Amino acid sequence: MAIHPIDYRYGTPEMRIIWSEEHRFTCLVRAEIALAHAEAEVGMIPAEDAKIIEQKALSASLMRAKEIEVEINHDTMAMIKAISEVCGDAGRWIHYGATSNDILDTATGLQLKDAFDVLEKKLIILVSVLLNRAEITKNLVCVSRTHGQQGVPTTYGLRFAIWASEISRHINRLREIRPRVVVGQMTGAVGTMAAMGTNGIEVQSAMMKYLEIGLVDVSCQVIARDRYAEYIFMLANIVTTLDKIGIETRSLQRTEIDEVEEMFGERQVGSSTMPHKRNPIKSEQVGGLSRIVRAMVEPALLNNTLWDERDLTNSSCERVIFPEATILCDHCLKLMTNVLENLVIKEENVRRNLLMLHGINLAESVMIELTHRGMPRQDAHEVVRESSMEALDQGKSLAEILSTKQGVIEYVSAEECENLLDPNAYTGLAEVQVDNLIRKLVTYYVP
């Protein structure tokens, strides 16, 4: 019986598999195989026994390990016994010199390695989608808003480019922290390597080389959890960007604004009682799930505050936060990529909103030109501010009000005012910035 929504509602198959109980067990077995291989390499155990372990260990059964755990109440030891059973006499060497977290944390490193691969691929796809939308809409002039009020014009292309730039930084962060996070250890009880004599450093190095992951410099019996806290924070940072994008698309889909819309299927239902509704449910879902991922940051930080060389308070917590945070982040990436790929932009409504204030939102353009032509900047600001307030109060265009101001027309004519209040003429270097970003990112992030 499924209980958690990840089991039946959220998550992609590829990420669910990585954090499944079956794959976790496989990673644990792989860690034990790698340990035997490394110990044979330095002469600690017979090479023929290591070969048998390598050939047979993966046939060990998760179900059998669970049966043993019921009897002994220790999951790691149950796994060790289950592997030993299928390896015959060679099984005597399973877990030789190791402590539980050597295997548990190394298995986590293997899972994180797979998770990083999936996340990076999807972030790159999202950057590609955003850059494509930026290119297509780089000349689509639209209303900007600060404090919820209209500002000077911007372009949809610049919006998409800003988001693409932010996602590219998440790719950089992912690549930067990967060597710190995707690691294993083989340091034995309390981290001294005493059980391996003088071979500990060589064994750890050979073991992680076999598994193709990094290794710790030192550890105390568990890998220090600052590494994992950094990973969880990265996930929280990613979903926060996705949430920000979703909030903007939701805002722009408001009936009163109506500039964009999530793709709505022909037979899709928006409400159980209001048949007309076309709700931005994907963006809203990202907003909701991002709260869950962000909530994982504090427990991830607290998992680093263990007693002495170790305690077990991190273990139960990590069984929850690793799969939940990663699967939900991956799910949000998929959702928001789908939203942006299929986002409908209603250009007629974009234009309608752009002209709504009859030039008042371009007051800066007139102020700048007045200053350029000789009026003191503060005087120019005040006369244009007063004119803007009059236009708003009287429901007139800014050009009409400005044409009555003698101090203004001494510097710019009524016709020039009209031109200065053309939104298409006041987008600055928005297009250039978009083109520059596309050139910069396409080399590194577009598949």
Closest CA to 40 of 26, 52, 50, 53: 50
CA 357 to centroid of chain Cα atoms: 37
Residue 261 carries which DSSP code? E
**Residue where a domain terminates, one of 71, 93, 115:** 93
Same domain, 112 and 141: yes
Residue at 8 is within a domain: no
The answer to whether 80 and 102 have CB atoms below 8 angstroms apart is no
Question: For residue 264, what pLDDT is reported?
Answer: 76
List pLDDT tens digits, range 260-286: 998 876 777 776 677 777 888 899 999
First to last CA, the chain: 40
List pLDDT tens digits, range 48-64: 999 999 999 999 999 99
Q: Tokens representing 47?
A: 């090479």
CATH of the domain at 64: 1.10.275.10
pLDDT surpassing 70 at residue 179 = yes
Residue at 6 is within a domain: no
Residue at 426 is within a domain: no
Question: For residue 407, what pLDDT is reported?
Answer: 87
Same domain, 296 and 411: no
Same domain, 338 and 257: yes
Q: Tokens representing 273?
A: 């009682």
**Residue where a domain terminates, one of 299, 321, 353:** 353
Closest CA to 60 of 87, 36, 37: 87
pLDDT surpassing 90 at residue 156 = yes
Q: Is 8 helix (H, G, I), strand (E, B) or coil?
A: coil
- Cα separation, 261 vs 339, in Å, equals 9
Same domain, 344 and 383: no
What is the percentage of the chain residues whose pLDDT exceeds 90?
A: 89
Residue at 232 is within a domain: yes
pLDDT higher for 150 or 265? 150
Same domain, 167 and 191: yes
Residue at 267 is within a domain: no
Closest CA to 113 of 18, 203, 196, 200: 18
Other C-beta atoms within 10 Å of 200: how many?
A: 20
CATH of the domain at 135: 1.20.200.10
**Residue where a domain terminates, one of 52, 77, 93:** 93
Same domain, 369 and 321: no
Question: For residue 45, what pLDDT is reported?
Answer: 97
| Residue located via tokens 């239902």 | 269
User: Does the annotation count 316 as an active-site position?
Assistant: no
- Cα separation, 146 vs 157, in Å, equals 18
| Residue located via tokens 């877990």 | 95
- Cα separation, 393 vs 403, in Å, equals 17
- Cα separation, 336 vs 167, in Å, equals 12
CATH of the domain at 400: 1.10.40.30
Paired with 141 in beta bridges are: 155
Residue at 398 is within a domain: yes
- Cα separation, 370 vs 391, in Å, equals 18
Q: Tokens representing 206?
A: 């050979």
Question: For residue 367, what pLDDT is reported?
Answer: 94
Number of H helices, E strands in the chain: 19, 8
Residue at 290 is within a domain: yes
**Which helix or strand (DSSP H or E) is residue 231 part of?**
helix 226-252
pTM: 0.94
Same domain, 108 and 69: no
Same domain, 251 and 346: yes
- Encoded amino acid at 12, one letter: T
The total of structural domains in the chain comes to 3
- Cα separation, 333 vs 239, in Å, equals 8
Same domain, 36 and 166: no
Question: For residue 445, what pLDDT is reported?
Answer: 67
Question: For residue 263, what pLDDT is reported?
Answer: 85
The residue annotated as part of the active site, out of 20, 271, 372, 413, is 271
**CA torsion, points 172, 174, 177, 179, in degrees to nearest 10?**
-100
Question: For residue 155, what pLDDT is reported?
Answer: 98
Same domain, 288 and 392: no
The residue annotated as part of the active site, out of 147, 272, 276, 316, is 147
List pLDDT tens digits, range 360-387: 999 999 999 999 999 999 999 999 999 9
List pLDDT tens digits, range 236-260: 999 999 999 999 999 999 999 999 9
User: Does the annotation count 37 as an active-site position?
Assistant: no
Same domain, 40 and 131: no
Question: For residue 271, what pLDDT is reported?
Answer: 66
As a residue count, the chain comes to 447
List C-alpha distances in Å: 347 to 134, 257, 289, 303, 354.
Answer: 15, 12, 31, 50, 10
- Cα separation, 37 vs 52, in Å, equals 10
pLDDT surpassing 70 at residue 313 = yes
Same domain, 39 and 64: yes
Residue at 10 is within a domain: no
The answer to whether 190 and 309 have CB atoms below 8 angstroms apart is yes
What is the percentage of the chain residues whose pLDDT exceeds 70?
A: 99
Query: Which residue range forms the structural domain that includes residue 121?
Result: 100-261+276-353
- Encoded amino acid at 329, one letter: C
Q: Tokens representing 62?
A: 């998760």
